[in-house]
Structure 1
Amino acid sequence: MKTNFFHIPMLLLALPVLISACGSGSAASKIPAQAAIPVKLLPLNTGAAQAAIPVSGTFTTDDEVLLSFKTGGIIQRILVKEGDAIRQGQTVAVLNPVEIDAQVQQAQLAFEKAQRDHQRATNLYNDSVATLEQLQNARTAKEIAHQQLRTAQFNRNHSVITAPRNGYVLRKLAAEGQLVQPGTPVLQTNGAGAGNWMLRASVSNTEWAAIRLQDTASVEVESAPGRTFSGRVSRRSEGTDPATGAFTIDIKLDGTKPANIAYGLFGKAVINSRNTSAAGTWRIPYDALLDGDSGSGYVFVTNDGKTARKVKVTVAGMEKDKVIISQGLEDAGRLIISGSAYLTDGSSIRVMPDSSIPSTGKQQAPLHP
């Protein structure tokens, strides 16, 4: 039997085509055009949200004062130390009195001489010896000497520093034997004895914008572990601190106050800010926010339940298990809260049957497809 070698090349050329035709049906059935990613959705209901803003700072009072002498001189004694409790009117520092006493004595002698000159001019005027002008000049000189005596006495009284109110000595800024100029700070005190404590904290631009006066706060003090104290925002700075570049707020404690508290003690607080000036806010789970920082982030939303859309949002604050969004969700129908890690802008999605989650519900765990 003879082999027809002429037909072999033709069979070899047709073989790939036959194999491809035989397997095309099964291979195509295994590769879908595009797989829809299963997700869970959250209805977006706007409303005034109460954002919990965590802050930290140190305790101080609103009546801190730098005490100084009215006149310059050498400090003779400083009668208190840093941390000492002081009472209103208590003497805390004195100058060496030699110089100021001499000034008072000189003013006293000048006033006495002016009195004698005025009396002599009065007698001479009555005897028609002195003129009216001489009498008036003597009277003016006596009044000037009297005012100079009062000035010297005032300076002597303020060569001693007394406590303006009950409180504590915060810092000692000078030492005994030191020569100080008028107005040089010697001691820093506050009125903590009256219990006017407040937590002073630094906040970011976004936090400052969300906080309002009289917002309530829960305060924790390191000297009272496990306890929480109530307070309110009493001051909101209108400019940044030159040293830190941040805004500052004061949270004043009200009601029961900690027993053991001191100036500079560290404390933490959570401010419940209700920013009513915003047109609307949304409370969303943490897992729904992607690439978030202190002020912005991204989320995936859908309006038709079939296609995911990536949008940028503005973060206004945080709660225990929620993020407060102030902008970016105005045109969104529902938020994708699970499966976001597998999505890109325009991805096809498949809504899970149990994805009807109340907008006020707890944060949901991410679903892995």
Structure 2
Amino acid sequence: MKKLNLPFGLLSIVIAAFTLSACQHPDRSSAIPKTDTIPVALRPLVNSGADASFEATGTFTTDDETLLGFKSGGVIEKIYVREGDAVNVGQLLARVHMDEVDARMSQVKLSVEKAQRDYERAYKLYHDSVATLEQMQNAKTALDVARQDLKGIQFNKQYAEIRSTSNGYVLARLAQEGQVVGPGTPVFQINGANEGNWELKVGVSDRQWAVIQEGDTAQVQADALGDRSYRAVVRSKSEGLDPASGTFSVYLRLLEKPAGKVATGMFATAKMRGSRSKQTTWQIPYEALLDGNGKEGYVFISNDGKTAKRVKVMLGAIAADEVTVLAGLENAEALVVSGSPYLVDGAAIKVVKTK
């Protein structure tokens, strides 16, 4: 290497020029800011329908099961039927001792007679200018009140007996002769089985409940009725969870009269298909959901694999590790299932795993 021998002053000028040139042309790679990318895991979104068809078990009942009792209560004098007995409309089932009712009616009748005499006397005295108009009007009011009391006791006497409200069977007898019962206390449970109003009460999950509507059809089959299936239709569905079974109740009315004998409580199976079964839904992992409140929440999606987008979704059933999304993902291609807590809307992402 050849060594340059430059005067000290000239060497200083060369060094200064080189330094200035370096300041005027910085490194471009260090001048451009770098944006952090968040590593995430994506899952392709595939919409699916709710269960197209399913089976549910339940028990037979009728739509007119009724609890019968006495309006005024008292001591039960006589019960004429037992559990399992067939009954007809208007048939006498039980009655209470009438002594108290009859005594009360006698008192009211005497009150009416006295009020009638008082009014007639006041009426005559008023027209003879002895009694005032107010006295005659008060006597008339007392008579009207006594007559209304008589109507009330006559009405109550009718309900000192229990009569069947339908053609059916006694499902339960809840009291015995000689027992004191209060007003409205159930004494019998009956149904209208002979009217043919049979229906099947089945328990379904929340997801199945969501796709069922009134009027949907079903096929009912019971071991006690042989291999034949019977057409049924959804009459109604409950609007709340049954705490005893942990399911939602759906009532299926039979459209055909069973060929065999049917009893309340008999088990059967229903094959059902909800009319909302084509509804688009998505099943997403619970950890992908952000800020969920039971009805709605937020998730991050990505359509290009490079940018995350925060979207609002409507929620359906929520399980231990999975959430049903009813709406909000129609235009999404992939869901961020890992790394969501570190993202903001529009953040750059790096796909490290696809689930």
TM-score band, normalised by shorter chain: 0.5 to 0.7
Counterpart in the other structure of 2:297: none
Count of residues paired in the alignment: 253
Counterpart in the other structure of 2:146: 145
CA distance, structure 1, for counterparts of residue 66 and residue 87 of structure 2 = 13
Structure 1 residue runs without a partner (length 5+): 1-44, 282-315, 317-324, 333-344, 348-369
Counterpart in the other structure of 1:247: 248
- The one-letter code sitting in structure 2 at the alignment partner of 1:92 is L
Counterpart in the other structure of 1:84: 85
- The one-letter code sitting in structure 2 at the alignment partner of 1:215 is D
CA distance, structure 1, for counterparts of residue 223 and residue 147 of structure 2 = 58
CA distance, structure 2, for counterparts of residue 47 and residue 213 of structure 1 = 23
Change beyond 3 A, Cα 1:130–1:214:
same
Counterpart in the other structure of 1:220: 221
- The one-letter code sitting in structure 2 at the alignment partner of 1:219 is V
Counterpart in the other structure of 1:170: 171
Change beyond 3 A, Cα 1:49–1:74:
closer
The Cα of 1:273 is off from its aligned counterpart by 2.3
SS of the counterpart of 1:56? strand
CA distance, structure 2, for counterparts of residue 164 and residue 256 of structure 1 = 21
CA distance, structure 2, for counterparts of residue 147 and residue 106 of structure 1 = 13
Counterpart in the other structure of 2:183: 182
SS of the counterpart of 2:52? strand
The Cα of 1:164 is off from its aligned counterpart by 1.4
- The one-letter code sitting in structure 2 at the alignment partner of 1:239 is G
TM-score by length of 1: 0.62
CA distance, structure 2, for counterparts of residue 243 and residue 218 of structure 1 = 26
SS of the counterpart of 2:280? coil
Q: Does the 8 A contact of 1:69 with 1:184 survive in 2?
A: yes
Counterpart in the other structure of 1:160: 161
Change beyond 3 A, Cα 1:78–1:179:
same
CA distance, structure 2, for counterparts of residue 142 and residue 274 of structure 1 = 64
- The one-letter code sitting in structure 1 at the alignment partner of 2:226 is P
Q: Does the 8 A contact of 2:209 with 2:248 survive in 1?
A: yes
Q: Please give the per-residue CA displacement for 1:242-267, whole angstroms capped at 9, x wherever unaligned.
A: 22221111111003434310111111
Change beyond 3 A, Cα 1:150–1:346:
closer
- The one-letter code sitting in structure 2 at the alignment partner of 1:202 is G
Q: Please give the per-residue CA displacement for 1:87-122, whole angstroms capped at 9, x wherever unaligned.
A: 111111100101011101110111011111111111
Q: Does the 8 A contact of 2:51 with 2:277 survive in 1?
A: no
Q: Does the 8 A contact of 1:84 with 1:168 survive in 2?
A: yes
The Cα of 1:204 is off from its aligned counterpart by 1.4
- The one-letter code sitting in structure 2 at the alignment partner of 1:149 is L
CA distance, structure 2, for counterparts of residue 237 and residue 205 of structure 1 = 11
Q: Please give the per-residue CA displacement for 1:306-349, whole angstroms capped at 9, x wherever unaligned.
A: xxxxxxxxxx9xxxxxxxx9999x969xxxxxxxxxxxx989xx
CA distance, structure 2, for counterparts of residue 280 and residue 181 of structure 1 = 53
Counterpart in the other structure of 1:268: 269
Q: How does 1:109-148 map to 2 (within 5 A)?
A: 109-148=110-149
CA distance, structure 2, for counterparts of residue 244 and residue 92 of structure 1 = 33
Q: Does the 8 A contact of 2:79 with 2:93 survive in 1?
A: yes
CA distance, structure 2, for counterparts of residue 201 and residue 47 of structure 1 = 25
- The one-letter code sitting in structure 2 at the alignment partner of 1:118 is Y
Q: Does the 8 A contact of 1:121 with 1:130 survive in 2?
A: yes
- The one-letter code sitting in structure 1 at the alignment partner of 2:81 is V
Structure 2 residue runs without a partner (length 5+): 1-45, 283-316, 318-323, 335-352
The Cα of 1:83 is off from its aligned counterpart by 1.3
CA distance, structure 2, for counterparts of residue 259 and residue 73 of structure 1 = 41
The Cα of 1:191 is off from its aligned counterpart by 1.6
Q: Please give the per-residue CA displacement for 1:50-81, whole angstroms capped at 9, x wherever unaligned.
A: 72211111001111111010112100111111
Change beyond 3 A, Cα 1:124–1:277:
farther
Q: Does the 8 A contact of 1:50 with 1:275 survive in 2?
A: no
Q: Does the 8 A contact of 2:52 with 2:274 survive in 1?
A: yes
SS of the counterpart of 1:273? coil
Counterpart in the other structure of 2:62: 61
The percent identity for this pair of structures is 45
CA distance, structure 2, for counterparts of residue 46 and residue 232 of structure 1 = 29
CA distance, structure 2, for counterparts of residue 215 and residue 326 of structure 1 = 24
The Cα of 1:168 is off from its aligned counterpart by 1.4
CA distance, structure 2, for counterparts of residue 140 and residue 280 of structure 1 = 70
Q: Which shows bigger deviation, 171-180 or 272-281? A: 272-281
CA distance, structure 2, for counterparts of residue 81 and residue 111 of structure 1 = 41
TM-score by length of 2: 0.65
Q: Does the 8 A contact of 2:118 with 2:139 survive in 1?
A: yes
Change beyond 3 A, Cα 1:124–1:275:
same
- Cα RMSD after superposing both structures: 3.1
- The one-letter code sitting in structure 1 at the alignment partner of 2:180 is L
